[in-house]
Amino acid sequence: MSLSDRLTELGITLPAAAAPVAAYVPVVVAGNLAHVSGQLPFIDGRLVTGRLGEDVSTEQGYAAARACGLMILAQLEAALGSLDRVERVVKLGAFVNSAADFTDQPKVANGASELMAQVFGEAGKHARSAVGVPVLPLGAAVEVDAIVALRP
């Protein structure tokens, strides 16, 4: 089954790949690895902003991380022409805009991680970091980047 068919089966429609907000490119392919720049969470066309542990709940953060994951997939599809070129998700880096006492960054990052496993199966299971930070670009609640292995 193609990844396009898999997305349809899961009821997932990818967003349009977002344009960079600064001086970088969304995806760089080096050898058999695709490095995806940090993606911000857009839900229904609106950026999810705020700080976990203050004005954003863990559940809202999870949804924001999932939205970042969807944008990672959109960027990969735009850069590669097809998600079928993805062999394995190697690593995700999740950055969570967090209050000083918020410690559920891993639960928030699961939004992106569980999406990758849902879409790619075993090949979607990856290494990961989930880091609390005091601020993110544009006030985003979450940002996620990725390293993905490509089929030869």
- Residue 29: the pLDDT is 98
Return d(Cα 59, Cα 52) in angstroms, integer.
10
Question: Tens-of-pLDDT digits for all 152 residues of the chain?
Answer: 899 999 999 999 999 999 998 999 999 999 999 999 999 999 999 999 999 999 999 999 999 999 999 999 999 999 999 999 999 999 999 999 999 999 999 999 999 999 999 999 999 999 999 999 999 999 999 999 999 999 98
Q: Which domains does the chain have, with CATH numbers?
A: 3-15+31-150 (3.30.1330.40)
